[in-house]
Amino acid sequence: MISEKIRQLGQRAEADLQDIFRRIDETAQFNTEKVLTAFQAHRVSEACLSGTTGYGYDDLGRETLEAIYADLYGAEDALVRADFVSGTHAISCCLFGALRPGDTLLSAVGAPYDTLRGVIGITDKGPGSLKDWGVSYRQVDPVDDRPDPAGLAEAAADPAVKAVLIQRSRGYDSRASLSVAEIGELCDIVRTVNPEAAILVDNCYGEFVETKEPIEAGADLVVGSMIKNAGGGLAPRGGYIAGRRDLVRAAAARLSCPGIEKECGATLNTNRVMYQGLFWAPHTAAQALKTAVFAARLMELLGYETDPAWDTPRPDIIQRVHMGSPEAVRKFCAGIQAGAPVDSYVTPEPWDMPGYDCPVIMAAGAFIQGSSIELSADAPMREPYTVYLQGGVTYESGKLGILMAADRLLEES
> At a CB cut-off of 8 Å and minimum separation 6, what does 132 contact?
121
Q: Is the pLDDT of residue 340 over 60?
A: yes
pLDDT in the model for residue 35: 98
Q: Is the pLDDT of residue 373 over 70?
A: yes
Q: Is the pLDDT of residue 174 over 90?
A: no
How does pLDDT run across 282-311, given as a tens digit for each residue? 999 999 999 999 999 999 999 999 999 999
How does pLDDT run across 73-107, given as a tens digit for each residue? 999 999 999 999 999 999 999 999 999 999 999 99
CA proximity to 253, closest of 61, 60, 113, 77: 77
User: Is residue 390 classed as helix, strand or coil in its secondary structure?
Assistant: strand
How does pLDDT run across 102-143, given as a tens digit for each residue? 999 999 999 999 899 999 999 998 999 999 999 999 999 999
pLDDT in the model for residue 413: 52
State mean pLDDT over 45-52: 97
pLDDT in the model for residue 253: 98
In 10 A of CB 237, how many CB atoms? 21
Q: Is the pLDDT of residue 355 over 80?
A: no
Can you name the residues that pair with 243 across neighbouring β-strands? 77, 221
pLDDT in the model for residue 91: 98
Q: Are 147 and 155 in contact (CB under 8 A)?
A: no
In 10 A of CB 187, how many CB atoms? 21
User: What's the CA gap between 179 and 165, in Å, rounded?
Assistant: 15
User: What's the CA gap between 110 and 116, in Å, rounded?
Assistant: 12
> At a CB cut-off of 8 Å and minimum separation 6, what does 180 contact?
206, 210, 212, 213, 214, 216, 217, 315
pLDDT in the model for residue 412: 55
| Helical segments of 236-325, H only | 245-255, 271-301
17: alpha, beta or left, given left = phi > 0 and alpha = psi -120 to 50? alpha
Q: Are 333 and 347 in contact (CB under 8 A)?
A: no
pLDDT in the model for residue 33: 98
pLDDT in the model for residue 45: 98
Q: Tell me which DSSP letter residue 45 carries.
A: -
pTM: 0.95
Mean confidence (pLDDT) of the chain: 96
